Copies of this chain bind each other. A is one copy, B any other.
Amino acid sequence: MSLIQVINPNTSLAMTETIGAAARAVAAPGTEILAVCPTHGVESIEGHFDEAIAAIGVLEQVKRGKAQGVSGHIIACFGDPGLLAARELASGPVIGIAEAAMHTATLMATRFSIVTTLPRTLVIARHLLQQYGFTHHCAALHAIDLPVLALEDGSGVAQEKVRQRCMQAKREDGSGAIVLGCGGMATLAQDLTKELGMPVIDGVSAAVKMVESLVALGFGTSKHGDLDYPLEKPLSGAFQHLN
């Protein structure tokens, strides 16, 4: 029995549910999904400030997950906030959903498109593309110009905008796959894949399979070199619980 911790870095319980559902939908028989979110933080993540705060919540959850004996951790926000910090803390694998979706896309298509929420988050995606090595594999980035929580308002407006943008990407970008750029879009991928007739990738489900794979291979995060456990030093005040 393997336990995978899926961390929604924002505090939206609705989105944590969405993400948990997407994770469970693809989990292997022997895998249990533990969908969590920070107690404190921001309701949605739409910039670097939000990410910095969310990163603390991610670290708290990774620490908690470790104590609970989870096999691996997923950071379920498209900016992968706190990814390398979480890798230092963890012994098992830690996967970000942007990372998972981008890697997965390159295994099926020579280039991919990204469809995300607000234009101000595009810079985050661009920096990740550069850091992961996929700048030249991304044909185009699109923003629907709606905030993250619009995906949880029940109206379906945001979902329809995502669909429209995906169809536009298919027509115009010359790419072979589409990456959905928000954890809140996780449940759309399967239907869009069918409707568009091309892979539309949700990072949450992709990350679940990556963690399962690494665990099956006997791999965690490398503790040789720069992702070794944080050097022990007293964490003061508000951060004592991270000691």
Q: Which A residues form the contact surface with B (CB < 8 A)?
A: 11, 26, 28, 39-44, 46-53, 55-56, 59, 82, 84-85, 87-89, 93, 95, 99, 103-104, 106-111, 119-123, 127, 130-137, 147, 170, 174-177, 190, 193, 196-199, 201, 205-206, 209-210, 212-214, 216-228, 230-231, 233-239, 242
Contact of A198 among B28, B133, B201, B223 (CB under 8 A): B223
B219 touching A199, Cβ below 8 Å: yes
A230 touching B88, Cβ below 8 Å: no
Contact of A174 among B26, B89, B119, B131 (CB under 8 A): B119
Contact of A88 among B47, B122, B135, B213 (CB under 8 A): B47
A199 touching B170, Cβ below 8 Å: no
Query: How many Å lie between the Cα of A230 and that of B53 in the bound state?
Result: 12
Which chain B residues border A133 with CB–CB below 8 Å? Answer: 106, 132-137
Which chain B residues border A55 with CB–CB below 8 Å? Answer: 52, 55
Residue of B nearest to A84 (CB): B48
B230 touching A49, Cβ below 8 Å: yes
B53 touching A242, Cβ below 8 Å: yes
A120 touching B176, Cβ below 8 Å: no
A234 touching B108, Cβ below 8 Å: no
Residue of B nearest to A229 (CB): B49
9 contacts between A and B (CB under 8 A): A41-B239, A42-B239, A49-B89, A52-B56, A53-B239, A109-B225, A111-B225, A176-B222, A176-B224
A217 touching B110, Cβ below 8 Å: no
Residue of B nearest to A55 (CB): B52
Q: Known pairs A84-B110, A109-B227, A133-B135. 11 more at Cβ < 8 A?
A: A47-B230, A49-B59, A49-B88, A52-B52, A52-B82, A53-B242, A107-B210, A108-B221, A135-B136, A170-B224, A198-B224
Query: How many Å lie between the Cα of A50 and that of B49 in the bound state?
Result: 17
Which chain B residues border A224 with CB–CB below 8 Å? Answer: 109, 170, 176-177, 196-198
A88 touching B222, Cβ below 8 Å: no
Query: How many Å lie between the Cα of A200 and that of B221 in the bound state?
Result: 12
Query: How many Å lie between the Cα of A177 and that of B218 in the bound state?
Result: 14
Which chain B residues border A147 with CB–CB below 8 Å? Answer: 231
